[in-house]
Amino acid sequence: MRNSLKEFRGTTDKKVAEEMRPKVESMLDRLSKKNIIHKKKASNLKSSLADHVSKL
């Protein structure tokens, strides 16, 4: 999880980030569903991913 988030945040191309975002969000949803991370942490991370894409 941390590696994919780091890779996502390291992208500077908006198209690449938009393609990666659904995959990363899906992974976060699966981890929260399995109680590996808290559902609010997953929500906060997804929000920060959306902010990152909008700033590109």
**What would the pLDDT profile of 2-47 be if each residue is shown by its tens digit?**
999 999 999 999 999 999 999 999 999 999 999 999 999 999 999 9
User: Which of 55, 23, 25 has its CA nearest to residue 42?
Assistant: 25
Cβ atoms 20, 11 nearer than 8 A: yes
- The pLDDT score that the predictor gives to residue 38 is 96
| Cα separation, 47 vs 26, whole angstroms | 13
Question: Amino acid identity, residue 21?
Answer: R
| Cα separation, 44 vs 33, whole angstroms | 15
- The pLDDT score that the predictor gives to residue 30 is 96
- The pLDDT score that the predictor gives to residue 12 is 92
pTM (2 d.p.): 0.86
In 3-state terms, what secondary structure has residue 36? coil
